[in-house]
Structure 1
Amino acid sequence: MGNADLRQLAAIEPIEFSELAGATVAIDAHNWLYRYLTTTVKWTSDAVYTTAAGKEVANLIGVVQGLPKFFEHDIVPIMVFDGGVTDLKTDEVERRREQKEKAEERAAEARAAGDAIEAARLESRTQRLTGTIHETTRELLDLLDVPVVEAPAEGEAQAAHMARSNTVDYAGSEDYDTLLFGAPHTLRDLTSKGDPECMDFEATLDEHGLTWEQLVDVGILCGTDFNDGVSGIGPKTAVKSIGEHGDLWAALEAEDAYIENADLVRELFLNPDVTDADFDPEIEPDLDAARAYVTDEWEIPEGEVERGFERIEDATVQSGLDRWT
């Protein structure tokens, strides 16, 4: 979830990539892509990823830079894209839009003042997953034969469902929503340089003596992307309150508090709109076509992506990786 305070409650342990060989991971694609997109924008001149027609496709650099990590460790990534945004998330979407507009204003001020570093830092916060970014990302993933799943609603809910149904081995996200959606194991820090960490759902419940429903109630009390929490209640206080009173409704009554649409938010986490997904784990990337798509069709300089393509090629031809050809 957006509320990173839940990290205080989550049972998280480091895990080495060597332990993940052969695993399938349902990745929250928007979350994964956004992190590589903002990094590219922050450290790369916009002239590099802007076409002659003015289309910005920094995402193509990000995808080529981000995928090798999976291939090199014999992991199959399944990219799960968000569907429609629930009405409950409208306020959160508006809040993020306002934050981006403020960052854009501050970036313009920094550029006018000649502070290129601050301008770049702020511009990385203003990135949006445009229609072009969505389209070109999917087309590049298709050429690289990376499975894509279109979620009916929240991508993290779909990734968690795939993990709960044993369709994949792990969910993958940098946020904490998958914990509330009940993913048995979530890999985090997949966009970082080192090994990832694993968030364990059952261990989290056991550590705090909670049921899944009670964990969701804790999240709602703290606040989620879909609701404001109760003022003054953080994760540890929420666990104590739910433990004492049993559920969200009794806790709210004891606090003399009210959360709008609490029942709908609870239902969203416990019974989200998801679908059964099927994918082929045998990945056969068409590297020549992918290179041509990025460098010829979308005018990305070869030097910006060649190392990424080389890493993908090296990983997919080395012996011992039976799934890669």
Structure 2
Amino acid sequence: MGNAAFREIATIEAVSFDELSGVVAVDAHNWLYRYLTTTVRFTSSDVYTTEDGTEVANLVGVVQGLGKFFENDLVPVFVFDGGVTELKAEEVDDRREQRETYEQQLEDEREDADATRIAQLESRTQRLTDVIHETTRELLDHLDVPVVEAPAEGEAQAAHMARNGGVDYVGSEDYDTLLLGAPVTLRKLTSSGNLERMDFQATLEAHDLTWEQLVDVGILCGTDFNDGVDGIGPKTAVKKIHEHGDLWSVLEAEDAYVDRGDAIRSLFLNPDVTDDYSVDTDVSPDIDAARDYLTEWEIPHSAVERGLERIEDATAQTGLDEFF
């Protein structure tokens, strides 16, 4: 969710990995992008660039990031986006324009800027290309990590799976999962410290809101699909929803307008999702096949071997299938 201020009203608590176990539906785009940018920023480009110039930093990031799940009795299920909704197209265009600006800055400063500045700009210009999507799926297949293809938004599908008991948690850094009704969202899965546990029901109870009203609060503040109403932040939005009841009454009282408000509401309350998926928690990674695949993409052994060892050791020692 574009408006990070929504954190002001979300019920969030710090938790450690050892307090958790089960299955987490990971917003693949969100998780992968964070590891992609981190890898690019802190790793020499020679490590993840093939001889023909193809960049596959994602492969290093996947190997480095997966071990954390298995070492802590969590089975990740990566949920990939399907098509971009029409209402989100504008946000995608804005991000593309911002990335193009960073690319121009990188070109202008490459000769004169220091290594730190160049690394920062390179991380900001990363995009999830077709090659990155394709190679990520293939590597996850070798590692026997479950994948679900969403018909539209990956985080909407992940939230749907959690609401229907298909998984225990949703993994995402965005606050959209709260508006999508995900019972429990785990944030900071890519960080080195504690996680954050964001609780949907506790958030509703803390502010005496219904799910529909929480979505209305989000729309008033601004989402990926709309700009918020000027002067209204999360706490003010909650207050106004209490006073007037719903989005439309608040807009009338404020003499304000939200374009396609009904459609935005529906994207959160009735998103395009599917029940046509399966999650096999009996994970048995083929480490040799994964290693060979990484070699095919010219990833140096030294960059991924420790990560592969962590995955192999964790899945062998815990016997993940015994937990479910």
Aligned 1:16-27 pairs, distance under 5 A: 16-21=16-21, 23-27=22-26
What is the TM-score of this pair, normalised by structure 1? Answer: 0.97
- Report the Cα offset of residue 101 of structure 1: 0.9
Match of 1:299 in 2: 298
Computed over aligned residues only, the root mean square deviation of the Cα atoms, in angstroms, reads 1.1
Whether the aligned pair in 2 keeps the contact of 1:287 and 1:313 (CA below 8 Å) is: yes
Give 3-state SS (helix, strand or coil) of 1:218's partner.
helix
Whether the aligned pair in 2 keeps the contact of 1:218 and 1:242 (CA below 8 Å) is: yes
Whether the aligned pair in 2 keeps the contact of 1:283 and 1:323 (CA below 8 Å) is: no
Whether the aligned pair in 2 keeps the contact of 1:110 and 1:116 (CA below 8 Å) is: no
Whether the aligned pair in 2 keeps the contact of 1:281 and 1:323 (CA below 8 Å) is: no
Match of 2:93 in 1: 94
- Report the Cα offset of residue 319 of structure 1: 5.1
Moved over 3 A (4+): 319-324
Match of 2:284 in 1: 284
Match of 2:123 in 1: 124
Match of 2:14 in 1: 14
Q: Distance in 2 between matches of 1:300 and 1:281?
A: 28
Q: Which amino acid aligns with 1:117?
A: T
Q: Which amino acid aligns with 1:216?
A: V
1:94 to 1:319, Cα distance in 2 relative to 1, 3 A: closer
Match of 2:207 in 1: 208
The answer to whether the aligner puts 1:169 opposite 2:168 as a matched pair is: yes
Residue deviations 1:121-145 (CA, integer Å, cap 9, x gap): 0110111000000000000000000
Q: Which amino acid aligns with 1:282?
A: D
- Report the Cα offset of residue 291 of structure 1: 0.5
Aligned 1:1-325 pairs, distance under 5 A: 1-21=1-21, 23-276=22-275, 277-295=277-295, 297-318=296-317, 321-323=320-322
Give 3-state SS (helix, strand or coil) of 1:112's partner.
coil
Q: Which amino acid aligns with 1:198?
A: R
Q: Distance in 1 between matches of 2:157 and 2:117?
A: 37
Give 3-state SS (helix, strand or coil) of 2:178's partner.
helix
Give 3-state SS (helix, strand or coil) of 2:24's partner.
strand
Q: Which amino acid aligns with 1:289?
A: A
Q: Distance in 1 between matches of 2:15 and 2:46?
A: 38
Matched length: 322
Residue deviations 1:220-254 (CA, integer Å, cap 9, x gap): 00110011111111111111111100000000001
Percentage of pairs with the same residue: 70
Q: Distance in 2 between matches of 1:177 and 1:199?
A: 11
- Report the Cα offset of residue 114 of structure 1: 3.5
Q: Which amino acid aligns with 2:148?
A: V
Give 3-state SS (helix, strand or coil) of 1:105's partner.
helix
- Report the Cα offset of residue 110 of structure 1: 2.3
Q: Which amino acid aligns with 2:19?
A: E
Q: Which amino acid aligns with 1:199?
A: M
Whether the aligned pair in 1 keeps the contact of 2:181 and 2:211 (CA below 8 Å) is: yes
Give 3-state SS (helix, strand or coil) of 2:60's partner.
helix
Q: Which amino acid aligns with 2:67?
A: P
Residue deviations 1:61-100 (CA, integer Å, cap 9, x gap): 0000000000101110000000000000011001111111
Whether the aligned pair in 2 keeps the contact of 1:107 and 1:120 (CA below 8 Å) is: no
What is the TM-score of this pair, normalised by structure 2? Answer: 0.97
